[in-house]
Amino acid sequence: MSDTIKEKTSLTRRNFLKTTAAVAGATAISGSTLTAFAAESGDAGAESTEQVYQGVCRGNCMGGCPLDIYVRNGKVVRVSASDVPDDRYKRACMKGLSHPQKMYLPDRILYPMKRAEGTERGAGAWERITWDEAISTICNEWTRLRKEYGTGAIGWWTQSGQFGLLSGCHYNGAYTRLQNAMQAIPISGSIDMNYYTASSAMFGSSLVSQTNELTDFANAKTIIAWGSNLTEAQIQAWHFFADAIDNGAKLIVIDPAFTTIASKADLYVPLRPASDAALALGMCNIIIEKDLVDWDFVKNHSVAPFLVKEDGTYLRQSDLGLGEKGAKTDQVIVIDAATGEAVASSETTNPTLEGTHEVAGFSVRPAFALLLERIAEYTPEKASELSDVPVEVMEQIVDLYTQNGPASMFWGFGQDRYYNGHGSYYAMGTMSILAGNIGKKGCSTGACSYNSVPLDAKLCTSPIKAKQEDTVGGGSASYTAGVLALKMAEAIKTGTYNGKPFVMKSIYIHNCNPLNYVADRQSILHDVFDKMELIVVAETRPTDTTVYADIVLPSAHWFEQEDFTCGTAHLQPFAVLQEKAVEPMGECKPDYEIFKLLAEGLDMPYVYDGLNSEEALRYILDTPTAAKFGISYDRMKKEKVVRWLPGKNFIFAAGGNFTTPTGRAQFYFEKPVASMQYGQTIDVELEHLPFFIEPSEAWPSNPLAKKYPLTCYQEHTRYRVHSNFSHIPWLREFDPEPTVKIHTKDAEARNIKSGDMVRLFNDRGSCTVRAIVTEGIRPGTVNTPHGWQADQYVEGHYQDLTSRETNPYIANSQFSDLLVEIEKA
């Protein structure tokens, strides 16, 4: 129990019963109304004492909102936004407030289960078993498989279900200790990698991923929200933008759909899906042609003046015999505009940006000259043709972005979901570099996502009492480590992956729901899952993935365990202690405790050395590294919520200092290397600079468009976090079933009306949903929200439509790069 538990009296018996009806076996919970969200009730019934614990909502909406958890008689009855060091971050959305229902859903998994003898996967027939039987069955089978096929026979699959350090998928999460000790193969779901890889390559990554702190948007006078449905997907952060608008900021929204945030815009730009790079490159040309470039920033804080040799690498001092090759002091050479001489980049503030030069026998050109050559094709007129955005609108955007400053560009993940997604981010980032709108108050670019408190990674990922062995992917917990999920079918079929033998016979899955989010779901199901001898899933309730498991382990809810979050993929600058508010239901266990049982069952007790949650958190947090950011276990236990991000208004790359290899903002990439290696080849010449290429499928010139003429993309809504919160009765009152939005013209051509059940289909699969006919979407496109689970569809599944194809340079799921047709069901 917390040392600082508060006592409150407020919730009535009636509301308590509504919230905890599932525990008592009642079914009336599905009829609860919005009044159940209220912190107070008008009922005059008897009051009783509540205890309040610290919590945090840590799913992958990027919120990370601290919560007060109210407990009565051993049950969580309600939650509310908790006090934080900065009240501007005190927010909680309807998903966070619905946790009491999430905890006590009637279908909560309470006991270990195994697939009933003689039944097929997916039949839904289960037998309750003990924890001893579950762990011994799993570990005995893993021991056999590892002995027969090698350590790589076991795959480990986690994603973004929750960002807890002990039980979650924090990038240095405790699960990695066991994964590494087993030398299991991490499976990469390849999500959002276009954004993260491209933005890191351009601007590096520090305590925040490429943007200023959210509070800084109040200092912007122009904000471009590009591919971001902030008012739905990150609703708790919207008020920062609303405050900026109240302060007089102009809002530009670039998105194929007329979203809620678009309704608040001064300028809404409905571009063609997947044309973002062409539009951005066209606007780069306008910035250059109108001489709106921030030349000081471009010359002194970007790679623009760096001289590039004919082999694509930079000319450095070592090439001139002036330093050691590969040393950190081996500076890139530029041409001083005043003297015409080749000098180290630090020796002039006025370098030349154009021309071809001969230096010490090398023919070289500034990176800026190469950029001009690359983007010359994308005149405003050409960009307009590709993006369907008028030239005059492009000029209006440019004028606001460069002349009405400070200006910020907030990137969403809309453009990430296409084959050409990283090219879109490269082009958008180049636009920001040319304008000099980075690293200043009110000026940032990217998708705001705080990184984690820097911790000693080895303490998180290595077995406590054993040396970490080499593993596939180097034992890394990164999403880009190990084997790419999109290529597993081929790897299993051929027995090779990236030129090496590949044999996988079992998968352990936790903190994710692969059969809901992996593209080309049917292939994963039949070409991967059907080939496994043992599939184990740890979950809180039935999902698309648990249905096809052999053994299901009951995971504790977030509030039933002690844990710690520290900013990973969150919009909060706080480290938050999750206190254990109640005992786990049934026989549920925190994932951390499950990892410990598995380690002991594999005769690897040294992996966790028997540490309980407090001991494990002390082991990780009580270090000099964490102390630099004011973090210790005792401080977290006392204060609960601690700001770890330095300063009061963090500015990314302040003063033009970037954490890239060059120390500058980069639009030229010296040595392109694919994000994952699986035996593919890449177009190195293309990847040196920003580019536009057509998406792999969703483009008018694709011959397939004659058969399937509608581009289909998947929006995030405020009612789910991917498939998390998918079956919460309160939320389903507002959002009861899967839908598809279709433009009036397209609907009329197919005799479809709002409310009709319709079938989306292509050569890969289909799904049946309810139609919403609207003017708020581009003709030729349809929009079906993602995250619905299979049992919520009349037929099919939205991931049966998607493709496993991925760009060879950045392994990423192309959820929106697909064509479909629609007909009445």
Average pLDDT value for residue range 467-474:
38
In terms of pTM, does the model score above 0.75?
yes
If pLDDT is split at 50, 70 and 90, which confidence band does 175 have? confident
Indicate the residue among 448, 471, 501 that finishes a domain: 448
Q: What is the pLDDT of residue 564?
A: 87
Based on the fold, state whether residues 428 and 466 are members of the same structural domain: no
pLDDT tens-place string over residues 530-569: 999 999 999 999 999 999 999 999 999 999 999 888 755 5
Average pLDDT, the chain: 87
If pLDDT is split at 50, 70 and 90, which confidence band does 64 have? confident
**89 belongs to a structural domain:** no
Side chain identity at residue 167, one-letter code: S
Q: What is the pLDDT of residue 17?
A: 29
**670 belongs to a structural domain:** no
Beta bridge partners of 770: 739, 757
User: Using an 8 Å Cβ cutoff, are 431 and 280 in contact?
Assistant: yes
Based on the fold, state whether residues 165 and 292 are members of the same structural domain: no
Based on the fold, state whether residues 142 and 253 are members of the same structural domain: no
If pLDDT is split at 50, 70 and 90, which confidence band does 7 have? very low
pLDDT tens-place string over residues 498-536: 988 899 999 999 988 999 888 999 999 999 999 999 999
Rounded to an integer, what distance in angstroms lies between the CA atom of residue 544 and that of residue 60? 18
Based on the fold, state whether residues 466 and 407 are members of the same structural domain: no
Based on the fold, state whether residues 416 and 489 are members of the same structural domain: no
Rounded to an integer, what distance in angstroms lies between the CA atom of residue 561 and that of residue 329? 49
Of 413-427, 472-486, 523-537, the one with minimum mean pLDDT is 472-486
Q: What is the pLDDT of residue 162?
A: 82
Indicate the residue among 448, 472, 496 that finishes a domain: 448
Average pLDDT value for residue range 138-147:
96
Side chain identity at residue 368, one-letter code: F
Could you tell me the CATH number of the domain that includes residue 535?
3.40.50.740
The count of domains in the chain is: 3
Q: Could you give the 3-state DSSP secondary structure of residue 796?
A: strand
**12 belongs to a structural domain:** no
Q: What is the pLDDT of residue 758?
A: 98
Rounded to an integer, what distance in angstroms lies between the CA atom of residue 787 and that of residue 373? 42
If pLDDT is split at 50, 70 and 90, which confidence band does 209 have? low
The closest alpha carbon to 371, from 668, 576, 790, belongs to 668
Q: What is the pLDDT of residue 795?
A: 95
If pLDDT is split at 50, 70 and 90, which confidence band does 822 have? very high
The closest alpha carbon to 302, from 202, 211, 442, 423, belongs to 202
Average pLDDT value for residue range 268-291:
97
User: Using an 8 Å Cβ cutoff, are 200 and 665 in contact?
Assistant: no
If pLDDT is split at 50, 70 and 90, which confidence band does 395 have? very high
Give the residue carrying structure tokens 């994952």: 676
User: Using an 8 Å Cβ cutoff, are 237 and 230 in contact?
Assistant: yes
Two tokens at 514?
Answer: 């692969």
DSSP output for 653-700: TGGG---STTSSB-SS-SS---SS-SS----HHHHTS------SSSST
Of 29-38, 56-65, 470-479, the one with minimum mean pLDDT is 29-38
**71 belongs to a structural domain:** no
Rounded to an integer, what distance in angstroms lies between the CA atom of residue 784 and that of residue 770? 10
Of 135-149, 589-603, 633-647, 733-747, the one with minimum mean pLDDT is 633-647
Whole-angstrom Cα Rg for the chain: 27
Length of the chain: 825
Based on the fold, state whether residues 297 and 400 are members of the same structural domain: yes
Beta bridge partners of 308: 314, 365
Based on the fold, state whether residues 287 and 433 are members of the same structural domain: yes
More confident residue, 621 or 6: 621
Q: What is the pLDDT of residue 44?
A: 34
For residues 770, 771, 772, 774, the Cα torsion angle rounded to the nearest 10 degrees is 170
Of 29-33, 367-371, 612-616, the one with minimum mean pLDDT is 29-33
User: Using an 8 Å Cβ cutoff, are 138 and 551 in contact?
Assistant: yes
Residue 478 has pLDDT above 50, yes or no: no
Residue 477 has pLDDT above 70, yes or no: no
Element (H, E) at 553: strand 551-554
If pLDDT is split at 50, 70 and 90, which confidence band does 465 have? low
Question: If phi over 0 gives left and psi between -120 and 50 gives alpha, with beta otherwise, what is residue 475?
Answer: left
**268 belongs to a structural domain:** yes
Residue 105 has pLDDT above 60, yes or no: yes
User: Using an 8 Å Cβ cutoff, are 184 and 508 in contact?
Assistant: yes
The closest alpha carbon to 163, from 591, 644, 634, belongs to 591
Beta bridge partners of 534: 506
For residues 776, 779, 781, 787, the Cα torsion angle rounded to the nearest 10 degrees is 20
The 10 Å CB-count burial string (b at 16+, else e) for 323-344 is eeeeeeebbbbbbbeeeeebeb
Rounded to an integer, what distance in angstroms lies between the CA atom of residue 469 and that of residue 453? 26
Q: What is the pLDDT of residue 25?
A: 32
* CA 378 centroid distance within chain: 30
Two tokens at 655?
Answer: 């003063």
Indicate the residue among 619, 643, 667 that finishes a domain: 643
Two tokens at 61?
Answer: 């909406």
Rounded to an integer, what distance in angstroms lies between the CA atom of residue 713 and that of residue 715? 7
Average pLDDT value for residue range 405-409:
96
Side chain identity at residue 55, one-letter code: G
Element (H, E) at 196: helix 193-203
Element (H, E) at 426: helix 421-435
**In the 8-state DSSP scheme, what is residue 50?**
E
Could you tell me the CATH number of the domain that includes residue 317?
3.40.228.10
User: Using an 8 Å Cβ cutoff, are 177 and 165 in contact?
Assistant: no
Rounded to an integer, what distance in angstroms lies between the CA atom of residue 227 and that of residue 256? 8
Q: What is the pLDDT of residue 473?
A: 40
Beta bridge partners of 225: 253, 410
**402 belongs to a structural domain:** yes
Based on the fold, state whether residues 167 and 239 are members of the same structural domain: no
Based on the fold, state whether residues 624 and 764 are members of the same structural domain: no
**106 belongs to a structural domain:** no
Could you tell me the CATH number of the domain that includes residue 796?
2.40.40.20
Based on the fold, state whether residues 241 and 362 are members of the same structural domain: yes
User: Using an 8 Å Cβ cutoff, are 698 and 418 in contact?
Assistant: yes
Based on the fold, state whether residues 784 and 751 are members of the same structural domain: yes
If pLDDT is split at 50, 70 and 90, which confidence band does 42 have? very low
Instruction: Determine the structural domain holding residue 288 and report its residue range.
Output: 211-448
Based on the fold, state whether residues 123 and 152 are members of the same structural domain: yes
What number of CA atoms fall less than 13 Å from residue 321's CA on the CB side? Answer: 3
**67 belongs to a structural domain:** no
